[in-house]
Amino acid sequence: MRVSLSGIVVRFGALTAVNDVSLAIEPGEIHAVVGENGAGKSTLMNVLFGLVKPQAGTIGIDGRPRVWNSASDAISAGLGMVHQHFMLQEQMTVLENIVLCAEPVGPLGFVDFAAARRRLAESANLHGITVALDREVGRLSVGERQVVEILKMLYREAQVLILDEPTSVLTPQEKDRLFEILRSFRAAGRAIVLITHKLDEVMEIADRVSVMRGGRLVTSAPLAETSKEEIARGIIGGELPPLRQRSARTPGEAVLAVEGLGIGRRGRSVGPLSFSVRAGEIVGIAGVSGNGQAELVQALAGLKPASAGRIVLCGRDITGLSVAERRRIGMSYIPEDRQRMGLALAATVSENANAGRDDRGGFAKGPFLRRGAMAEFARDIIRRFDIRVAGPSALASTMSGGNKQKLVVGREITRATPLIIAENPTWGVDIGAIDFIHGELMRMRDAGHAVLLVSTELDEVMALSDRILVMYEGRFAGEVPGSEATRERLGNLMTSHLGQGSAVAA
Amino acid sequence: MLDLLFDTSFAASVPRFVTPILLAALGGALCERAGVFNIALEGFLLAGAFAAVLGSYFTGSATAGALAAMVGGIAMGLVFAEFNLRRGGDSIVVSIAINLLAAGLTTYLLRAVFDVAGAFSDPAIVGFKGINIPVIGSIPWIGHVLSGQSILFYIAVAVVPLMHLFLARHRLGLRMRAAGENPQALAAGGVNPKRVQLWALVGCGALCGLGGAQLSIANVNLFVENMSAGRGWIAVVAVLLTRGRPWPLFAIALIFGVVDSLSFRVQGLGMPQQFTDVMPYLATLIVLTALSWWRKRNPA
Amino acid sequence: MKLGDGIFGREIVPWLAVVFWIAVVLLVLVELVGASFGDAVEGFIQGAFGGRRFAYLMATLSRATLIVGMALSVMLSFRAGLFNIGGEGQLVAGGLVAALVGIFLPGPPLLVLAVSILAAMAAGAAWAMLGGLLQLYVGVPLLVGSLLLNYPIRYFASYLVAHPFRDVPSGMVQSHLVPMETWLPFFPGTRLDIGILFILVAGISAIAYSYTTVHGYQSRLNGLSPDFAKTVGLPVDRLALQTLAMSGAIAGLVGAVAVFGIHHRYIDGSLVQPLYAWTGIIAVLLVGMIPWLVPLSGFFFAAIQTGAAGMERTAGVPKEIALVVQAAIILFVASRVSGALLASSDRKTDGGSDA
């Protein structure tokens, strides 16, 4: 089945997300669509899959133009998509998730689960996939959930499989197994579209590469006719920024000391964890999302109670203290979820910027607000962190993702506390802002602050950290000095429990 | 005094109070599982109760009354769907509005159609009589509970396992659960969650309508202004406590039904009217508090 | 240029459609009762704004006072993201306490009045905080808890004035009269009591609080995004309880104003039957919680209610038509002003933080 996209244009208000893009997808081929965050690749594929209606352009299947009114049209035409955020029902079983929306029914509308099982068994065996059909999806690991998503596509006999950033949640070993499955699909004549920003993986598995930047298609060529550097240039539109150099520093006293910390979690508890972060160093916690990092950060910030152990900050035991008290003693926190936790989107930039302040005198007189002082403070942050926004009284929701993140980072870093916790600080942010934020974190480290970086982006952790701790299944699998960190070494630590984990069999 | 309260006639009266709560709660459960935050059960019940009287009065048939009650409930469900699903109004606001709408409309129509205020009673209203089940009816004590009840009671009880089966194994039930848990994922699979939620509201309307019919043409044969008297709110609490699961819902509805009939019974014992009136609400509050406290201590 | 594009199509036409549908509903209902539409309209206008020496207009303003007061109470809670729908109970608590203190406290009238009002506000605040405590410490969602709490206090007050504190010779279910010297005076030349001034002061204070104080600012942020408030360390639990207390206090004040300005005693059902609390809620929802529009909204609904009573007197149209129209208005408006409540929609069944 050949798929072609011609002249696709997608606009969201004033923003043109996809600008006149034409692409061909051939059967028996793995086609990588690459670009940085915000380049328009996901939007383009959402058009192909029927989730977004384009303002212009056509979709062609085997030469005939088709129009999708919804995803179900695309699905019946033989397209399947695995989204970046899985589209699964956690409280339903694997089997229920797979058949949902394509249920085999008897006369009264009752689902024939037995028939579904039989059909699945065939496809799964063909490609070497095994999975327990009656387990609740909520209890599966991330890698296993991805298998469920892939089975969904198989069940619907999709001929064109679109995967959006599939490896961002996988350990290196899980990624290898996924690629084997993809090769098996290719051999069976299916077409695969891989949306990714990871160049190494593109070089490893793709047959054809299309590069998008700023909504436009920059190049589209077979892999054999291009090179990694050329692709990278296409993505950035220039040269890569020079690799960040870490200046040698001797760290000072421990600012944060964690001893035997345990946190309760449904099913799999986290801990005991013990580590410290010293003044003038960046400690990175690496690991695939879902291994307890979120719980660790929440316990440190005071948003979740610890079930065991101690947390010591600046020499004081803060284990039982509230969020406000911890912040006052010397902690700032850049949360992963900037939309819900980092900002109040419906409030103004000034209100957001002043929200975390301890120095009441700076923005209030008695019980009353000093709006002028608040606006000045906000303007200062806007200036220092190069935030593109109309002004302090603009609503936070009007900013782009990168600028929102810069506001959160700016607000927290300005407090200049001894400890800064940064959780996936550059998720979903454009390259310019990523570079800026990394620079700020380094600046704080150089100035003698302690920075705890928790990130699922291996590259980020490796680039910034003086020491790297790898988290797996709620415990630390190992510690690696920043200078000696390689992807293989960290990847091995990420799956250090032999025999457990992913149910994907080779 | 204890045996006065627990004699057979008390036992026989319990199902009469359980039925409207159970039916309304089952309707609410459908909405809850499908992700529709519907706290307008009080209004749905009231609409059903009035429609039942209308239907029965003008046709002389209790069955027609029950069907009319379902239509009345479904009408409310469609109003909810129009303003919440289609137009995007906040479900709490829409619920409050529908409760007020039902109260106002039923009282208004009481005056407009029957030209009375307060209550309407007439021999032309045909109600449901009790159904005597031959063998079961002769079992001591429990026989009085299980036999001789209106058909609506038996329907209500039958719906419990039926709903369980529906949600677990029927295509629409599966999709409703999906709409309630992750509507975005359902949409990505090609099914419009709102369409599924519309069916949930229709089902809810029908069930609440039947619950209303029990109030007006089974328990008694008349319509009183604001007849639902808080039972819709009790049903809301039941749905909340059980997260819309049919069997636990049945258990909770039984408890509330017992308390409701107890308060009715106690009236004859010389307690002040206000105490008996408030008993169901107090009991609901106490049960809610106790269960919430327990759940906080033992997170599942 | 198509009708659908541009400001006309986007903003004006939908509102015209709303007005159209409400008019249709009205027509159908009036027809159903066989009344003359002209009589009905005349009766409405008289009932809301007319009367000998504008007696009906005074009644509308009096009712509007209570509705606006309740709307203010609700607005404070809603803006802080708290779904406190227990206003009715807080109102009754306030009215009951005001009447009882007014009756039994000896002393100069001004002192008795002041203490009664303060006691009423304290009672309302306490009842509102009870709902908050249930959410905080037990995990009962505020929405359901505050609603259920309405009933015990209603029946308790009813019991008190039906038995121990009943004014038996009067033959009705009500308390004795509060001392005449404590009755709120009328505005000169009218029959409108000065209770409206109390509400005005409360209203201005509430608005000033919301926009100029630190507490108001933090409450508002919590209302817009509770996760954000927790993350930056705002004292969310304390804010919630304090806001509920303020909310309840205003409701209690309204109860006191009703007792000392209008009824001069606690009459069973007098604060519940007219649906002051629920009308207050929908008055706030109508204007999307924009503070300065609330008095207009409250007056609007008060006029609908008194106008409907006039319709019944003149044209025989049952006054419950007011309820139907108000519900219809809210249904239509709900779809247009949903944004204000969206932030809090995650919290409908949240039993408070159980971190």
Tens of pLDDT, residues A342-382: 999 989 999 999 998 888 888 888 889 999 999 999 999 99
CA atoms lying within 13 Å on the CB side of residue C24 = 7
Note whether B281 contacts C152, CB cutoff 8 Å.
Answer: yes
Spatial distance between the Cα atoms of A12 and A333, rounded to a whole number of angstroms: 32
Interface residues from chain B to A (CB-CB < 8 Å)? 169-172, 174-175, 177-178, 181-182, 184-192
Note whether A367 contacts C234, CB cutoff 8 Å.
Answer: no
How does residue B132 score in pLDDT terms, banded at 50, 70 and 90? confident
> β-pairing, B222-224 with B119-121?
antiparallel
Question: Which structural domains are found in chain C, ordered by start?
Answer: 17-24+54-341 (1.10.3470)
Q: Which residues of A437-457 are buried (b: 16+ CB within 10 A; e: fewer)?
A: bbebbbebbeeebbbbbbbbb
- Residue A238's pLDDT is 64
Note whether C285 contacts B93, CB cutoff 8 Å.
Answer: yes
Interchain CB contact of C278 with B (< 8 Å): yes
Question: Which residue among C318, C332, C351 places its CB closest to the CB of B112?
Answer: C318
How does residue A235 score in pLDDT terms, banded at 50, 70 and 90? confident
Residue of chain A nearest C341, judged by CA positions: A346
List chains touching C (3+ CB pairs under 8 A): A, B
Question: Which residue among A302, A326, A344 places its CB closest to the CB of C225?
Answer: A344
**Under a CB-based contact definition with an 8 Å cutoff, are residues B202 and B78 in contact?**
yes
Spatial distance between the Cα atoms of A456 and A339, rounded to a whole number of angstroms: 18
Spatial distance between the Cα atoms of C322 and C305, rounded to a whole number of angstroms: 6
Question: pLDDT tens, A309-350?
Answer: 999 999 999 999 999 999 999 999 999 998 889 999 989 999
Question: Which residue among C32, C140, C345 places its CB closest to the CB of B289?
Answer: C140
Residue of chain A nearest C223, judged by CA positions: A344
Neighbours of C174 (CB within 10 A): 21
* Alpha carbon distances (Å) from B226 to A90, A369, B230: 41, 48, 9
**Tokens at residue B187, please?**
């949409």
Spatial distance between the Cα atoms of A414 and A419, rounded to a whole number of angstroms: 12
Comparing CA positions, the residue from B52, B57, B95 lying closest to residue B76 is B95
Interchain CB contact of B195 with C (< 8 Å): no
DSSP A82: E
- The reply to whether domains A3-236 and A254-343+416-494 share a CATH topology is yes
* Residues on chain A touching C229 (C-beta within 8 angstroms): 344, 355
Note whether A51 contacts B185, CB cutoff 8 Å.
Answer: no
Q: What is the pTM of this model?
A: 0.86
Burial class (CB in 10 A: 0-12, 13-18, 19+), B3: exposed
- Residue C6's pLDDT is 63
**Under a CB-based contact definition with an 8 Å cutoff, are residues A409 and A437 in contact?**
yes
Q: Is the peptide bond before A54 cis (omega within 30 degrees of 0)?
A: no
Nearest CA-CA distance, residue A503 and chain B, Å: 23
Nearest CA-CA distance, residue B294 and chain C, Å: 8
Question: pLDDT tens, A3-43?
Answer: 999 999 998 877 788 889 999 999 999 999 998 777 788 88
Comparing CA positions, the residue from C95, C159, C82, C160 lying closest to residue C128 is C82
- Phi, psi of A88, rounded to the nearest 5 degrees: -125, 155
Spatial distance between the Cα atoms of C123 and C256, rounded to a whole number of angstroms: 11
Interchain CB contact of C149 with B (< 8 Å): yes
Between A483 and B41, the more confident residue is B41
* Residues on chain A touching C239 (C-beta within 8 angstroms): none
**Tokens at residue B20, please?**
């409207």
Note whether B192 contacts A70, CB cutoff 8 Å.
Answer: yes
Note whether C220 contacts A347, CB cutoff 8 Å.
Answer: yes
Domain boundaries, chain B: 2-127+141-293
User: What sections of B127-230 are H helices per DSSP?
Assistant: 142-146, 151-169, 171-181, 183-188, 193-214
User: Residue type at B162?
Assistant: L
Note whether C320 contacts B94, CB cutoff 8 Å.
Answer: no
- Residue A402's pLDDT is 85
Note whether B101 contacts C324, CB cutoff 8 Å.
Answer: yes
Of all helices (H) and strands (E), which one includes residue B67?
A: helix B62-80
Question: Which residue among B90, B97, B292 places its CB closest to the CB of C138?
Answer: B292
DSSP A36: -
**Tokens at residue B16, please?**
């009469």
Interchain CB contact of C354 with A (< 8 Å): no
Return mean pLDDT, chain B.
91
* Residues on chain C touching B79 (C-beta within 8 angstroms): 331
Mutate to test the interface with C, among B96, B194, B237 (most CBs of C within 10 A): B96
**Under a CB-based contact definition with an 8 Å cutoff, are residues C145 and B288 in contact?**
yes
DSSP B95: H
Task: Let me know the angle formed at the C-alpha of A422 by A418 and A425, rounded to the nearest 5 degrees.
Answer: 145
Nearest CA-CA distance, residue A264 and chain C, Å: 10
Helix (H, G, I), strand (E, B) or coil at A3: strand
**Tokens at residue C126, please?**
């306490």
Between B193 and C35, the more confident residue is B193
- Residue A497's pLDDT is 46
**Under a CB-based contact definition with an 8 Å cutoff, are residues B239 and C141 in contact?**
no
Residue of chain A nearest C215, judged by CA positions: A367
Question: Which residue among B178, B187, B192 places its CB closest to the CB of A89?
Answer: B178
User: Residue type at A480?
Assistant: V
* Residues on chain A touching B199 (C-beta within 8 angstroms): none
Identify any residues that bridge with A331 across adjacent strands, giving them in sequence order.
Answer: A419
Note whether C235 contacts A324, CB cutoff 8 Å.
Answer: yes
User: What residue ranges of chain C have pLDDT lower than 70?
Assistant: 1-11, 336-355
- Residue A503's pLDDT is 30
Spatial distance between the Cα atoms of A152 and A80, rounded to a whole number of angstroms: 8
Name the B residues in 261-300 with CB < 8 Å from any C CB: 272-275, 277-278, 281-282, 284-285, 288-289, 292-293, 295-296, 299
Note whether A351 contacts C217, CB cutoff 8 Å.
Answer: yes
* Residues on chain A touching B175 (C-beta within 8 angstroms): 100-101
Burial class (CB in 10 A: 0-12, 13-18, 19+), C267: buried
3-state SS of A409-446 is HHHHHHCCCCEEEEECCCCCCCHHHHHHHHHHHHHHHH
Give the whole-number percent of chain B exceeding pLDDT 70. 97
User: Residue type at A486?
Assistant: T
Spatial distance between the Cα atoms of A350 and A353, rounded to a whole number of angstroms: 5
Of all helices (H) and strands (E), which one includes residue B246?
A: helix B246-266
Architecture of B2-127+141-293 per CATH? Answer: Orthogonal Bundle (1.10)
Note whether B240 contacts C332, CB cutoff 8 Å.
Answer: no
* Residues on chain A touching C233 (C-beta within 8 angstroms): 302, 322-327, 356
Count of positions (residues) in chain A: 506
DSSP A206-257: -SEEEEEETTEEEEEEEGGG--HHHHHHHHHTSPPPPPPPPPP----SEEEE
Mutate to test the interface with A, among B182, B196, B199, B243 (most CBs of A within 10 A): B182
Mutate to test the interface with C, among A339, A352, A357, A368 (most CBs of C within 10 A): A368
Residue A502, pLDDT > 50, answer: no
Name the C residues in 183-212 with CB < 8 Å from any A CB: 212
Question: Which residue among B174, B184, B191 places its CB closest to the CB of A72?
Answer: B191
Spatial distance between the Cα atoms of B124 and B121, rounded to a whole number of angstroms: 9
CATH superfamily of the domain spanning A3-236: P-loop containing nucleotide triphosphate hydrolases (3.40.50.300)
Comparing CA positions, the residue from A130, A150, A140, A126 lying closest to residue A505 is A130
CA-based R_g, chain B, Å: 19
Tell me which of A37-46, B170-179, B216-225 is least confident: A37-46
Interchain CB contact of B92 with C (< 8 Å): yes
Residue A150, pLDDT > 50, answer: yes
Between A212 and B3, the more confident residue is A212
- Phi, psi of B244, rounded to the nearest 5 degrees: 75, 20
Note whether A100 contacts B170, CB cutoff 8 Å.
Answer: no
- Residue C345's pLDDT is 42
Note the CATH number of domain A254-343+416-494.
Answer: 3.40.50.300
Residue of chain A nearest C221, judged by CA positions: A344
**Tokens at residue A60, please?**
């062609």
Burial class (CB in 10 A: 0-12, 13-18, 19+), B208: buried
Domain boundaries, chain A: 3-236, 254-343+416-494
Note whether A347 contacts C214, CB cutoff 8 Å.
Answer: no
- Residue C9's pLDDT is 63
Tell me which of A485-499, B70-84, C23-37, C294-308 is least confident: A485-499
**Under a CB-based contact definition with an 8 Å cutoff, are residues B113 and B120 in contact?**
no
The complex scores an ipTM of: 0.89
Spatial distance between the Cα atoms of C242 and C129, rounded to a whole number of angstroms: 8
Identify any residues that bridge with A66 across adjacent strands, giving them in sequence order.
Answer: A59
- Residue C338's pLDDT is 52
